[in-house]
A and B are shown apart, each in its own frame.
Chain A
């Protein structure tokens, strides 16, 4: 059974700092990995999708990397801003031969201190 872990569960950093969020998964047979942002009481916003054949994806101040062999992904946020405060979730799509689905981590709650 695929398990996705995100550590730490919560993180506070001063505005302007660069930071890294971590995601690990137990089964490396994945189709892709997605990073999402969730604001309190809201739905999920997709940030980046990395296919299993890719090593990284970039969007603005965000950079996500994927190391399938070690079962790890990181989300790098450059020059953090108070508006980046949210919960960040990673999720993997496992190759199961017909019933693929996303398995989520429990998220890292990020607070950027002005």
Chain B
């Protein structure tokens, strides 16, 4: 049973064309995270929501934004994708920020 679902699994967008990635969860967890992972690199936290409280990492570019309309869903918006934004985007959830994180399958973003 899928617990953290990401759609789409593969996304191709054009340089500068806004794109939205989706994450949903059936775990009813309080915290949802977005990570960016480039090839052969460690996942890098972009931001997280604790319930409706948004926490942005200091080095997350302004080009990246997020929305969490309800407990189950969280979206990652990339306003003007550049070639350097091509990566795997991972969504994760947990019951609290210090607790075990559960990851989705990821969305691989290609920018042409």
Taking Cβ atoms with an 8 Å cutoff, the residues of A that contact B are: 4, 31-32, 34, 36, 41-46, 49, 89, 93, 99-102, 104-107
Contact = CB atoms under 8 A, between A and B. Distances in A.
B59 to A, nearest CB: 12
Interface string B23-59: 0000000000000000011110100100000010100
Nearest to A99: B55
Contacts of A104: 42-43
Interface string B92-105: 10000111111111
Main secondary structure of the interface of B (DSSP, over half): loop
B106 interface: yes
A101 B97 contact: yes
Interface of B: 4, 6, 40-43, 45, 48, 55, 57, 88, 90, 92, 97-106, 108
Given A42-B105, A99-B55, A107 B42 contact: yes
Given A43-B105, A44-B90, A105 B42 contact: yes
Given A42-B106, A43-B105, A106 B40 contact: yes
Interface core residue of A42, A44, A105 (most chain B CB under 10 Å): A44
